[in-house]
Amino acid sequence: MLFDAPDFDAHEGVHWFADRATGLRAIIAVHSTHLGPAAGGCRFWDYASDGAALTDALRLSRGMSYKNAMAGLPLGGGKAVILKREHKDDALLEAFGSAIESLSGKYVTAEDVGMTDHDMTVIARKTRHVSGLPVSAAAAGGNPGPSTAEGVFLGIRAAIRHKLSRDNFNGVHVAIQGLGSVGMALAERLHAAGAKLTVADIHPDRTARAARDLGADVADIRAILATTADVLSPCALGAVLDEASIAALNVPIVAGAANNQLATPADGARVQARGILYAPDYVINAGGIINVAAEYLGAGDAASVTAAIAKIEPRLADIFATADADGRSTDVVADAMARTLIGR
């Protein structure tokens, strides 16, 4: 079953854990340790089947290899999934910590969907291969949202320079889907830089705040993806770019934080065919992982994290130029660069 799974990519290891006493059922997928320990968050999720959990672990761990490599980090790619049960208690998290410890540092965990920074402190009772712990504001680490927003801001700047020959944001119109941890911080930066904003969120208090404090126009959540603007910045959900939404886009650039924006690999080519510049999600949204990695590796203060995030801008410029020169879509160019970096 595993070797034939569509998302199996000669992963270095796929580890299944079950603990009778606590009810833990988890999969840790180690895609690559070529550049360092396989780092990637843990997802606590109600999967329809064990197969669905495996698919998620395989796909997400490969994505982390690409993301960490393109972020210039000395880290490989891995991901854990815990099959949800009613209670996520300390005993279950400690059992998961022991599972991580049994891999002797090959895999390093952090938060993902369904996990909190408090959960990381419980896991840390059993293993030191954990990051994303609560930290003081001055240190590197902690909530990655603002760091991700900083990288997305710089990535959008690379995109408007490449596509619109613009060196600044004055009057550049950005439509943002989702004003959460990343989207709101991004909106604040763009507003401060002179951009015009259109925003949408399912929480009316967030859009109201953006309208009041940032002069943003508010769009309906069903209309935001088709807003006529210079840039669409998806900062809410994955899989927003599919055949129908791509056909309805009214922007020359898509550049946002959301993971897995392309619903299928074919959608990268669809965006390209429409002449729209797409900033590959795992390259532009790497600010958070750069911040988390600095914490885990103990390799840096806030200034060095800022310097590492700044490299997202030239990295994207390189991807855009290569894609233009080769006639390939930007997602394909980024994947190829990442695979070269991880020796595949």
Tell me which residues are annotated as active site. Answer: 79
Contacting residue, 36, 97, 142, 144, with ligand NAD by CB under 6 A: 144
From residue 270 to residue 309, what is the string marking binding to ligand NAD with x (rule CB under 6 A)?
---------------x--x---------------------
Assess 148 for contact with ligand NAD (CB under 6 A): yes
Contacting residue, 22, 177, 329, 330, with ligand NAD by CB under 6 A: 177
Is 240 flagged in the annotation as binding? no
**Between 5 and 221, CB nearer to ligand NAD:** 221
Assess 203 for contact with ligand NAD (CB under 6 A): yes
Contacting residue, 38, 57, 236, 249, with ligand NAD by CB under 6 A: 236
What residues numbered 243-272 form the site for ligand NAD, per CB under 6 A?
257-259
Of 19-27, 40-48, 119-127, 174-182, the segment contacting ligand NAD by CB under 6 A is 174-182
Phi, psi of 288, deg, nearest 5: -65, -45
Assess 18 for contact with ligand NAD (CB under 6 A): no
Gap between the Cα atoms of 240 and 227, Å rounded: 14
Q: Identify the helix (H) or strand (E) that includes residue 269.
A: helix 266-273
Assess 235 for contact with ligand NAD (CB under 6 A): yes
**What single-letter amino acid sits at 278?**
Y
Contacting residue, 77, 183, 268, 300, with ligand NAD by CB under 6 A: 183
What the block records as the tokens of 63 is 């994505």
Q: Answer yes or no: are the C-beta atoms of 94 and 125 closer than 8 Å.
A: yes
**Between 114 and 180, CB nearer to ligand NAD:** 180
Is 180 flagged in the annotation as binding? yes
Q: Answer yes or no: are the C-beta atoms of 310 and 303 closer than 8 Å.
A: no
Gap between the Cα atoms of 251 and 276, Å rounded: 7
Separation of CA 144 from chain center: 10
**What single-letter amino acid sits at 214?**
L
Assess 178 for contact with ligand NAD (CB under 6 A): yes
**What single-letter amino acid sits at 147?**
S
Beta carbon of residue 126, minimum distance to ligand NAD (angstroms, whole number): 25
DSSP letters of 129-173? -B------TTSS-S--HHHHHHHHHHHHHHHHHHHH--SS-TT-E
Is 268 flagged in the annotation as binding? no
Assess 221 for contact with ligand NAD (CB under 6 A): yes
- Name the DSSP class of 224: G
Beta carbon of residue 255, minimum distance to ligand NAD (angstroms, whole number): 12
How many CA atoms lie within 13 Å of 21's alpha carbon, on the beta-carbon side? 7
Query: What is the helix, strand, coil percentage profile of the chain, to 5?
Result: 45, 15, 40
Contacting residue, 55, 102, 181, 322, with ligand NAD by CB under 6 A: 181
Is 215 flagged in the annotation as binding? no
- Name the DSSP class of 39: E
Binding site for ligand NAD (CB under 6 A): 144-145, 148, 177-183, 200-203, 206, 221, 235-238, 257-259, 285, 288
